[in-house]
Amino acid sequence: MAVILFVSGFVVKFTDSDVAVYPKNTLVVALDTCRFNYFLHHAFPEGYQFDLLRLFAEHENVDIDFHVLPDSLKYEGLKTGWLDIAVCDNCLLADIGGQSFCSSLPLDDSLQTRWLTHGNMRLMRSINIWAEKFRQQGQYMRLHNKYFGGKYSIPRRLSPYDSLLKIHSAKIGWDWRLVASIVYHESKFKPLVVSPNGAQGLMQLMPVTAAYFGVHNIFDPEENIRGGVKLIGFLSEVFSKKMVSETEIVNFVLASYNAGHGSIENSMKITENAGLQPEIWENVRSATILFRATKQPAGMKLPGKETMHFVDNVKTLYNHYKHFFEGNF
């Protein structure tokens, strides 16, 4: 099957046999915040272009890193090679060093939104061949109907508890948007949630933990957030004594919040016994997964896949929240 691509005024045809595997592990993408590109809906990232890009990344088996940039910085990012794809409205075919490429995508012609790349023909081939096939699938029409048939808008606030999150997060020096991403994954901002294991409220505190941090009414949003943030602050102090990297401190705090401090300490000991640095989360993750797959002494509590996913998902959501809301500092 041939696919048409317009390259600086020339028409080029590609076939499936021409497509090369994209060599990078992460696609770096820039787009705008609007109802057709990228927005938050019930505190979770959505958008027509956002979903298309995720689907393309899944097809290519690569990760994706989203950024919100004006057109001028998009073009600069493409020229320097930092950006892989820039989503531009009105098909703004800027002459980037004489090598500006534009792909056609399954979007209403009236919007004329295109993906631009620069100097990566293999990526452009993959985009166009994927897009041509995607147009033929039922998923395209469902996605199209979802965004063009519905009414969406960019929210002015993340949750009803933004002010509480800002006040209490500032007390421990954490970005409120990072704490908010924990709350979303714990309760989706629903204050009366009770988990099967007994965790309760917005930040899913166990009753014993809540009592320890002075929470009397665990379902009261202010008390629950205050208690949850105190727990985060306590864990931050613990790991600040073991490591200096802020990134690693956050990783270990998130893991401990999900699995418990004791289980993470067990994993760190296993990591050290394996000859790896226990202050690096990726080492702890790898050593724990290997240890659980081979041998696990009875009674030893260790974090599982849920904890690994929790750390990744919270940080990913935090990166999205940073595009839409101002931080504490």
DSSP for 257-322 reads HHH-HHHHHHHHHHHHHTTS-TTSHHHHHHHHHHHHHH---TT-----HHHHHHHHHHHHHHHHHH
Helix, strand, coil fractions of the chain, as percent rounded to 5: 50, 15, 35
Note the pTM of the prediction, 2 decimals: 0.78
The pLDDT value given to residue 292? 87
Question: What structural domains and CATH numbers belong to the chain?
Answer: 3-148 (3.40.190.10), 162-324 (1.10.530.10)
Q: What is the pLDDT of residue 104?
A: 61
What is the number of residues in the chain?
A: 329
Percent of the chain whose pLDDT exceeds 90: 56
Contact between residue 150 and residue 42 where contact means Cβ atoms under 8 Å apart: no
Regions in the chain scoring below 70 on pLDDT: 1-24, 90-112, 150, 153-154, 296-298, 328-329
Phi, psi (rounded to 5 degrees) for 130: -60, -45
Q: What is the pLDDT of residue 155?
A: 75
Contact 157, 177 (CB under 8 A): no
Q: What is the pLDDT of residue 98?
A: 56
| Distance, CA of 284 to CA of 175 (rounded, Å) | 25
Which residue, among 268, 279, 168, 181, has the nearest Cα to 227 in the 3D structure? 168
Backbone angles phi, psi at 225, to 5 degrees: -65, -45
What was the pLDDT predicted at 221? 98
CB 218 within 8 A of CB 201: yes
Is 185 in contact with 313 (CB distance < 8 Å)? yes
Non-local CB neighbours of 319 within 8 Å, separated by 6+ positions: 65, 66
Give pLDDT, residue 34. Answer: 80
DSSP SS3 for 86: strand
pLDDT at 4: 33
114 beta partners: 88
| 318 Cβ neighbours under 8 A, 6+ residues apart | 175, 177, 178, 181
**CA angle (97, 103, 106) in 5-degree steps:** 155
| Confidence (pLDDT) at 72 | 80
pLDDT at residue number 17: 38
pLDDT digits (tens, 9 = 90+) for 8-38: 332 333 333 333 344 468 999 999 888 778 8
Gap between the Cα atoms of 156 and 278, Å rounded: 41
